[in-house]
Amino acid sequence: MSRLLITGASLQGERTADVLVVDGTIAEIGAGLDASGAEVVDADGLVALPGLVDLHTHLREPGREDAETVLSGSRAAAVGGYTAVLAMANTNPVTDTAEAAERVWSLGQAAGVVDVHPVGSVTKGLAGEELSEIGLMARSKARVRVFSDDGRCVGNARVMRRALEYVKAFGGVISQHSQDTDLAGSTSCCHEGELSGRLGLPGWPGVAEDVIVARDVMLARHTGSRVHVAHVSTAGSVEVVRWAKSQGIAVTAEVTPHHLLLTTDLLAGYDPTFKVNPPLRPAEDVEALRGALADGTIDAVATDHAPHARHDKEHAFVDAAFGMLGLETAVQVVAQVMVESGLMGWADVARVMSTTPAAIAGLDGQGQGLVVGAPANLTLVDPSADVTVDRADSVSLSRNNPYHGRTFGAAVRATFLRGRATVLDGKLV
């Protein structure tokens, strides 16, 4: 019998208590618990959260193991406080069959650092034309419940409708990368606005996102199925999601840490580290996203962790790959933007980064909260840290970290997967 005692933790920032874990399950919560035979972790001054769940991670394996692998990405996730991640389907080959989904799931099982749940593609080869093996993936060992062509939008309304109808039968959800390609254009690389014009960079307008969100919530209402809006980045999309929820439409939405903090002004230096899809937006969009996360219009924070090898990023801005790292810094960004500002408390962080993402993805063993009988998936955060990000310290194989040189006031100190420490004192075990 294994025993772990976490002492003096602030449970979601609300009350201080000890947490006793026996054989991977939370057995008791209270003051002065018996430490006999237990490994003791002193959590004085630390906030205990349920293990974080990321709805949107790119692990790159198979196909781009030079940028990330399931193992390296899992380690980066654990350092960031995560105990479960959903691996996006835009690998090579694409996760569009049961066999491909089971391969990613098996790689996650072998790594054993976090629970890795593959996301299945909506269409074969991400081509947007023919549905992938949705039913077979759902019935596979991987038990796929989230489907997305992320990186590309399911632009054909008929295909999107059929996908929504298909997943309804087993409670699945379609996660949409909302980007009207006709409005966005094929060469655009940033937000369309005064700055893009001054820099001579082709941009795409926020409405290219808004119109797809509007279409998809209407399709969700028509089908009675669930749609999830990935990486919301505009005030217009927030308005659509808020309206849809008021109508009882089954829509959920996520926002990335970088869209909560970074603005399009960072493009002035032409640094391709800040090239991301959807693009960084103006301050007014960022403020709308923060408010929507605080009031529940946006349900979850998801990293859209997108590692890239140096040779894919070190180009002129227009030619560089889209994407930035996010797993190792998500808690730090959310703490600064939402907690330190007073917009949210730590219990809210637990909701948007653990319990709600787990519920959206249908993960039975994750996001159950800090309660007796729940799996001991736990994260300990120092809310008074003083940490300056250095890209050289990244656990990820890639170094496209947009927060290099920034100082944050929070840091993950420990992560436990079913009672087993994966991170202690901020370092991998």
**Catalytic residue list:** 304
Which class for 186: exposed (0-12), middle (13-18), buried (19 or more C-beta within 10 A)?
exposed
Spatial distance between the Cα atoms of 124 and 372, rounded to a whole number of angstroms: 43
Count CB neighbours of 349 within 10 A.
24
* Sheet order of strands, 82-87 included: 52-57, 82-87, 115-118
DSSP 8-state assignment for residue 423 = E
Q: What is the spatial distance between Cα 361 and Cα 354, in angstroms, rounded to a whole number?
A: 11
- Determine the residue type at 71: L
**Residue 316: partners with Cβ closer than 8 Å, 6 or more residues away:** 270, 272
Residue 364 burial (10 A CB sphere; 0-12, 13-18, 19+): exposed
Do 412 and 51 form a contact (C-beta atoms < 8 A)?
Answer: no
